[in-house]
Amino acid sequence: MSFPHLSPDEYSRFRTRIDAASPTDVRAIRYERYQLSKTSGGHSAESYDDRLPQMQRDHAKQLRGLAEENAAIDDAGMENNDDATDRAGNSRTPVVYTATMDGQSVTVRPDAVYDTVWADINCFSGEADVQHRTRQLKVEFKGALLDGKTLLVVLSSASPDVRPSKSFAADELTAENVVVLRRHPESGDWFAFGSREVQPHLLGREGA
């Protein structure tokens, strides 16, 4: 979470407000979220004008991440869990799961769903970024297991050195129920974790 001093409920309420806000209102809500997180942590908050350049950068990054996420979902033929209809145009209810983790109630909504998986898609721009096993991923894993599915973690990155953390990759409990793949956002190629060879058969994709 980018706002560590907000409770999961506070963060969820801001997320709901941002998703429903008009383009003219969303920036003010983002600033309110930032301001509350800072003051809740005992820190002073920048003024709106001083914070504005960072909010603009964050918004541009979010748009890039959303485009990469949607491309991965479409490429794999999964259902976008933000959509109220499936690919055939039928109504669907987004998958949501709530569990207690580290003493807190955490509600998650996977980015995409498939016949056999829940998917979480994360976008990286660094050369050697690391995906940690976050509280969100832990809860998504529990929810996927209860749904009889595997948790698919997609690392969207052009760098072959992006990887899950050692503890994430070595966790014996989840070794058979978590799949980590990397997708190159420009070429659309998929890679198994630790491999630099294109894997065209992953997720049912057929090779040339």
Concatenating the DSSP letter of every residue in 19-75 gives HHS-TTTHHHHHHHHHHHHHHHTT-PPPPHHHHHHHHHHHHHHHHHHHHHHHHHHHH
Closest CA to 106 of 96, 114, 91: 96
Q: Quote the tokens at residue 155.
A: 């690392």
What is residue 206's predicted lDDT score, i.e. its pLDDT?
43
Which stretches of the chain score pLDDT less than 50? 1, 172, 205-208
What is residue 1's predicted lDDT score, i.e. its pLDDT?
46
pLDDT, one tens digit per residue, over 168-190 is 766 545 557 888 899 999 999 99
